[in-house]
Chains A and B, each alone.
Chain A
Amino acid sequence: MQMAEVPYNFPDTRGHFGPYGGIFVSETLIPALAELSEAYRVAQSDPAFLAEFDHELKHYVGRPSPIYHARRLSDHCGGAQILFKREDLNHTGAHKVNNCIGQALLARRMGKPRVIAETGAGQHGVATATVAARYGMECFVYMGSEDVKRQAANVYRMKLLGATVIPVESGSKTLKDAMNEAMRDWVTNVADTFYIIGTVAGPHPYPMMVRDFQSIIGREAIDQMQEDFGRQPDAVIACVGGGSNAMGIFHPYISHPSVKLIGVEAAGDGIETGRHAASLSAGTPGVLHGNRTYLLQDPNGQIIETHSISAGLDYPGVGPEHAWLKDTTRAEYVGVTDAEALHAFHTLCRMEGIIPALESSHAIAHAMRLAPTLPKDKLLLVNLSGRGDKDMHTVAEKSGIKF
């Protein structure tokens, strides 16, 4: 039996999820955010905008993505049934494109011919470059110079798609610095430029807007679960870096109290080593990149460098709505180490013929940990947020193989 739905109305009009979220930016960015909020508010209630978004998701991305019952993996674990929401089957190979299409359509509507984005491993950069090509927009992607070196294939992909990749030399030369630099570009060129943020972080309205565009994942899942299994899952499991794939699948389920929500953070070498990216599990609240949320910081409030085998989870903050879901205990957040994620990666390759992204492998690892503790009739729905082709080099290197 499904329990009654519980209403959930966050954020408030100024972007707050309880004490988290908000708009913590310099005055110079305020008008740009106000313009964006207003444009998004109008677009959201425009049937033509929503119809075009749906059309693009169906014909360009290939949605709906199926739910797949991983029977061999479930048998191997010997407990609950493990199901995958197959975001890895999307065009460009991950959930990121859902949000990029939404924001690019909004940019076009607002008359902004130039889009910019930040990227860590390059996935959001590739997705942004893809939609920019699709809609004929000029595209600049900021990427830490360390990441440019580590992710040469994705840099080349973005160039193939017509984007200009700008290496960022400041700070730790990684994702957070790319985000700082993209913000600087935006504040300088706001008249013709739309900043496509790739995750549910940043100042309001980004956390809400990115969540809304990604919520297609959870909405589809609710329908598909009912259709294929006659009920909703017992738990929904997703990896959390900034947290966009998790928010996308969690959000429609928040009002279903019988469905447990579990976010899986990157525990890197182990939380106790300090080399990890588990902001919710090991961080403290603070203000970064325009919102208040859990951060990995030193006692003086300086943001510290993070570590994860998965570049997509390697971020010192996390979306503010996750901070709120943690504090209210609506969602639970756990950590999975590099080694556990790699083990899950290899297991899934062999057991199901699916090469998952290292990010998604964190969620799979937790499902594999949880399944044996539960009876066989329990259903665990894992968001398989991306495919692992991009991670070939990382995984091969770990196994001592050179191409």
Chain B
Amino acid sequence: MSRIKTVFDRLGAEQRSALIPYIAAGDPSPAETLPLMHALVAGGADVIELGVPFSDPMADGPTIQRAAERALKHGVSLRDVLAMVKTFRTTNTATPVVLMGYANPIEAMGVERFVAAAAEAGVDGVLVVDYPPEEASDFANTLKAEGLDPIFLLAPTSTEARIAGVARIGSGYAYYVSLKGVTGAGHLDIGDVVSRIPNLKARLGMPVGVGFGIRDAASARAIGAVADAVVIGSRVIEEIERAPAGEAPQRVRAFLSEIRLALDEPVVESAR
């Protein structure tokens, strides 16, 4: 069974939501990525989304773009990111790692070569932001053949047909983008998300994670009450940016612990 499925099955049985933080590989420097990954796990991460830096991250807001630019200054490539995952796996064999990035670095390496190398490194899922399902069925099949989960985005505006497309070719979990806009934006409509998720889960037949716009314990908790996973990216990057040199892992761990605590508080029925 895949690591992603194992995690969601366990959390489902415990009636808890997964916490999925995002960091950009190589930010603020390549040497700090491994300590950060371990800090994420210590802070309560169930899955790690590891960003593959790209020069033109069209779907990301300024925070994640800055993270990618810092990583690219160190020349971090897709191969380097795979090497980081491989090293992470020498001490952590349980926490799923999902690579999140853009199509071009993968196509430059070659899809087949990338998928084989990702499987060998211990990657569990891949989310390519600019591969919508209709352009990615071959890619998804190649991933699945190697036991990796192709993860797709869905948005409030996604039609029934598109949701069915993700149900057909996606696996692992689906990533519901909770607002119109780019990563890190500040106008999340929690009520709207809460009303949509149950129906979406039923039709997808796979867990649903919610991200884009979740910035604190309160919003994480509200989303976690209905979603299978809460994804936090820009807010984690901000912790890394604010941390004094060498202290990013502690900061990130402390921040995530708060979110973890809020997510795991039992939901009082009358408050729903």
Contacts and interface: CB of A to CB of B under 8 A. Distances in A.
Given A14-B134, A286-B108, A297-B104, A303 B55 contact: yes
Interface string B56-87: 11110110010001001000011100000000
A190 B156 CA distance: 13
Nearest to B152: A27
A284 B109 CA distance: 12
A299 B152 contact: no
Given A184-B182, A190-B180, A289-B56, A25 B130 contact: yes
Given A31-B155, A301-B78, A25 B102 contact: no
A295 interface: yes
Contact of B69 (A171, A290, A299): A171
- Indicate the size class of the contact surface on chain A: 35 or more
Contacts of A190: 180
A26 B108 contact: no
Interface string A16-46: 0000001111111111000000000000000
B61 A27 contact: no
B58 A184 contact: yes
Given A22-B135, A25-B130, A300-B78, A170 B158 contact: no
A288 interface: yes
Contacts of B147: none
Interface in A288-311: 288-290, 295, 297, 299-303
B264 interface: no
Nearest to A27: B153
A289 B58 contact: yes
B57 A180 contact: yes
Contacts of A166: none
Given A24-B131, A30-B158, A301 B106 contact: yes
A67 interface: no
A28 B59 contact: yes
Contacts of A303: 55-56, 104
Contacts of A171: 55-56, 65, 69
Contacts of A180: 56-58
Interface in A336-389: none
A176 B108 contact: no
Contacts of B61: 184
B231 to A, nearest CB: 14
A207 to B, nearest CB: 15
Interface string B219-254: 000000000000000000000000000000000000
Interface centre among A23, A176, A187 (most CB of B within 10 A): A187
Interface string B251-269: 0000000000000000000
A27 B56 contact: no
Given A30-B132, A300-B78, A300-B79, A286 B104 contact: yes
A183 interface: yes
B151 to A, nearest CB: 12
Contacts of B106: 301
A380 B252 CA distance: 64
Interface string A55-98: 00000000000000000000000000000000000000000000
A88 to B, nearest CB: 32
B173 interface: no
Interface centre among B132, B152, B162 (most CB of A within 10 A): B132
A31 B56 contact: no
Contacts of B131: 24
B105 A300 contact: yes
A31 B158 contact: yes
B185 interface: yes
A287 interface: yes
A28 B54 CA distance: 19
A24 B103 contact: yes
B157 interface: yes
B103 A287 contact: yes
Contacts of B102: 287
A26 B211 CA distance: 14
A180 B177 CA distance: 19
B112 interface: no
A53 B178 CA distance: 39
A217 B200 CA distance: 48
A345 B142 CA distance: 52
Contact of B108 (A31, A183, A188, A300): A300
Given A31-B157, A180-B57, A287 B130 contact: yes
10 contacts: A23-B132, A27-B154, A170-B65, A171-B69, A188-B180, A284-B108, A297-B104, A299-B108, A300-B109, A302-B105
Given A22-B135, A28-B155, A184-B59, 14 more contacts: A23-B134, A24-B132, A25-B130, A26-B59, A26-B129, A27-B132, A28-B177, A30-B155, A183-B59, A184-B58, A285-B107, A287-B103, A300-B105, A301-B106
Interface of B: 54-59, 61-62, 65, 69, 72, 77-79, 102-109, 129-132, 134-135, 152-155, 157-159, 162, 177, 180-182, 185
